[in-house]
């Protein structure tokens, strides 16, 4: 009964107001609402201004990147590069070792006679070793003070040097050991703070003793599963970073490119594969498949010397003449053809079961590529590809066009580039505190070695593990 009486009193209360009182209350409500709208408007403008200011400071506008990628890339709640584990902006200090400060470092850059040119190395499949070095030298995140560095970059063009006869395997191994023994900060962190680029399928195996010396270091490589004859992988998911391969600059540069994509209706072939057979089962199967279905699949036995060798432009023209670019594994799982396909706008079809791709925590590759079992290479593959409607192919091309900037080694001033992606990944590797089995610390915070010698008094060369 009490609740009923209360309800009755409430019902009698409202009619007792005069018309003037009701009107006055309504005007007050309108004024308050208008004030709220104006406040929201100005706060929104202030936030937009703040976001633009942050973008000018850090070169990565989350809003811009989010618009650019749309649904292809999976972002955090803040938009742009995921905030979880990365932070809201780049805040790195990277020290780049100078070629003259450490004896032996020049050998890893130019060979025993010093005649190998970086320009020759930057143009090849493994040119990332030169590009990343140069981009770091120009980066606003570079520091010239070792004491304040979060990370240390060790420049080396060792893959190119080896391929051009500048050093043999034994010399490479000896030189790395000599170089590392002259780096106190490498010893201080047990190698955790140091970055190395190994841009080929061999990965860190180019340095035969990598397992002893670089088992804690950060390795940048396009190869995630490379193993030697003892089945030992040099890639560690928790510390190493998969990077994109080095696509020819003539295809990635803004403006005119070597080859423009063809409309789907003008492409002669359903699919193609252009690469050396290398005695690999999957590649040999594709070459045989092309002989059975020459009107659907183009896969010639390429010549890599002589008058029949394909030039750069001819190679990309052939790639652009199919709807799908097949990317089987070769000596290792990664394949440059996967990245090249985005710039001729054919859909990459991965035929490499163990392949690892860059920025997988950001990019959703199901929108822009196909991965097909390498054990099912045959007419079934061509039938499947032929069943895909052109409208679906066009949509995948559009999505791939949005994300391919992540394969371009452009300056960090570009909001989307391979280099910026690598910087974000490196930021996750930064540790506030470093230690190794050979470092110790005292009550006053000083770092000492096993002989209780303070770090500032360490003198190279120092024995390594």
Q: Please report the DSSP string for 388-407 in residue order.
A: S-HHHHHHHHHHHHHHGGGG
Alpha-carbon gap, residue 276 to 350, rounded angstroms: 16
Average pLDDT estimate for 423-452: 91
User: Per residue in 250-280, pLDDT tens?
Assistant: 999 877 789 999 999 999 999 999 988 888 8
Strands (E), 254-343: 269-272, 297-298, 322-328
Higher local confidence (pLDDT), 162 or 31: 162
Q: Report the residue count for the chain.
A: 465
Q: How confident is the model at residue 19 (pLDDT cuts 50, 70, 90)?
A: very low
Q: Which residues pair with residue 142 across a beta bridge?
A: 94
Average pLDDT estimate for 45-66: 39
Least-confidence region, from 74-83, 231-240, 283-292: 74-83
Specify the pLDDT at position 34: 57
User: Per residue in 194-245, pLDDT tens?
Assistant: 999 999 888 899 999 999 999 999 999 998 876 655 567 788 888 999 999 9
Q: How confident is the model at residue 435 (pLDDT cuts 50, 70, 90)?
A: confident
Q: How far is CA 281 from CA 177, 231, 415, in A?
A: 37, 20, 41
Alpha-carbon gap, residue 36 to 29, rounded angstroms: 11
Specify the pLDDT at position 249: 92
Domains for the chain: give ranges and CATH numbers. 56-87 (no CATH), 94-246+430-439 (no CATH), 257-408 (3.40.50.2000)
Query: Residue 8: pLDDT above 50?
Result: no
Higher local confidence (pLDDT), 204 or 16: 204
Which pairs count as long-range contacts for 298-303, CB under 8 Å and 24+ apart, including other chains? 298/268, 298/269, 298/271, 298/272, 298/273, 298/274, 298/322, 299/272, 299/273, 299/274, 299/326, 300/274, 301/277, 302/274, 302/275, 302/276
Average pLDDT estimate for 118-141: 94
Higher local confidence (pLDDT), 383 or 279: 383
Specify the pLDDT at position 362: 87
Query: Residue 68: pLDDT above 60?
Result: no
Average pLDDT estimate for 117-137: 94
Q: What percent of the chain has pLDDT over 70?
A: 80
Specify the pLDDT at position 237: 86
From first CA to last CA, the distance across the chain in angstroms is 87
User: Per residue in 154-181, pLDDT tens?
Assistant: 999 999 999 999 999 999 999 999 999 9
Average pLDDT estimate for 140-155: 97
Specify the pLDDT at position 18: 38
Query: Residue 53: pLDDT above 90?
Result: no
Query: Residue 320: pLDDT above 90?
Result: yes
Q: Which of 83, 90, 53, 84 is nearest to 417 (CA)?
A: 90
Specify the pLDDT at position 254: 79
Higher local confidence (pLDDT), 27 or 424: 424
Average pLDDT estimate for 36-51: 49
Query: Residue 294: pLDDT above 50?
Result: yes
Q: How confident is the model at residue 415 (pLDDT cuts 50, 70, 90)?
A: confident
Specify the pLDDT at position 166: 95
Higher local confidence (pLDDT), 95 or 302: 95
Q: How confident is the model at residue 2 (pLDDT cuts 50, 70, 90)?
A: very low
Specify the pLDDT at position 5: 41
Specify the pLDDT at position 87: 75
Average pLDDT estimate for 365-373: 96
Query: Residue 56: pLDDT above 70?
Result: no
Average pLDDT value for the chain: 84
Least-confidence region, from 38-52, 319-333, 347-361: 38-52
The pTM score is 0.82
Specify the pLDDT at position 52: 38
Q: How confident is the model at residue 368 (pLDDT cuts 50, 70, 90)?
A: very high
Average pLDDT estimate for 102-122: 95
Query: Residue 50: pLDDT above 50?
Result: no
Specify the pLDDT at position 80: 60
Specify the pLDDT at position 1: 41
Residue 40's CB: how many other CB atoms inside 10 A? 10
């Amino acid at each position: 009964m009490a609740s009923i009486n209360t309800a009755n009193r409430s019902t009698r209360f409202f009619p007792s107001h005069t018309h003037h009182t009701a009107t006055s209350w309504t005007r007050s409500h309108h004024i308050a609402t208008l004030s709220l709208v104006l406040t929201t408007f100005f706060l929104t403008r202030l936030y937009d201004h703040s976001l633009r200011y942050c973008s000018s400071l850090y070169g990565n506008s989350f809003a811009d990147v989010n618009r650019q990628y749309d649904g292809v890339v999976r972002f955090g709640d803040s938009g742009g590069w995921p905030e979880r584990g990365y932070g809201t902006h780049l805040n790195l200090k990277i020290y780049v070792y100078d070629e003259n400060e450490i004896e032996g470092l020049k050998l890893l850059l130019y060979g025993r006679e010093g005649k190998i040119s970086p320009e020759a190395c930057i143009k090849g499949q493994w040119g990332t070793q030169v590009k990343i070095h140069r981009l770091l030298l120009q980066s606003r995140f570079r520091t010239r003070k070792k004491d304040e560095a979060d990370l240390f970059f060790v420049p080396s063009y060792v893959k190119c040097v080896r391929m051009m006869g500048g050093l043999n395997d034994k010399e490479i191994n000896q030189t790395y050991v000599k170089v590392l023994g002259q780096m106190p900060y490498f010893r201080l962190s047990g190698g955790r703070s140091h970055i190395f680029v190994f841009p080929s399928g061999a990965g860190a195996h180019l340095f035969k003793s990598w397992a002893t010396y670089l088992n804690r270091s950060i390795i940048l490589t396009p190869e995630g599963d490379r193993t030697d004859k003892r089945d030992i992988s040099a890639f560690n998911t928790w510390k190493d970073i998969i990077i994109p391969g080095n696509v020819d600059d003539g295809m990635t540069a803004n403006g005119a490119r070597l080859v423009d994509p063809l409309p789907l209706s003008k492409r002669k072939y359903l699919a193609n594969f252009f690469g050396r057979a290398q005695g690999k089962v999957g590649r040999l199967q594709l070459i045989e498949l092309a002989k059975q279905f020459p009107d659907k699949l183009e896969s010639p036995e390429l010549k890599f010397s002589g008058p029949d060798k394909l030039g750069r432009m001819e190679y990309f023209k052939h790639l652009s003449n199919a709807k799908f670019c097949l990317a089987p594994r070769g000596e290792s799982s990664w394949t440059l053809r996967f990245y090249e396909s985005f710039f001729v706008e054919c859909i990459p079809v991965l035929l490499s079961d163990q392949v690892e791709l860059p920025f997988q925590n950001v990019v959703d590759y199901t929108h822009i590529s196909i991965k097909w079992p390498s054990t099912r290479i045959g007419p079934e593959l061509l039938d499947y590809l032929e069943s895909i409607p052109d409208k679906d192919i066009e949509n995948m091309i559009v999505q791939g066009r949005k994300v391919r900037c992540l394969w371009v080694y452009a300056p960090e001033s570009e909001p989307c580039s391979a280099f910026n992606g690598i910087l974000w990944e490196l930021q996750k590797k930064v540790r506030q505190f470093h230690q190794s089995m050979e470092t110790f610390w005292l009550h006053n915070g000083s770092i000492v070695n096993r002989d209780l010698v303070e770090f500032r008094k360490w003198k190279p060369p120092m024995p390594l593990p």
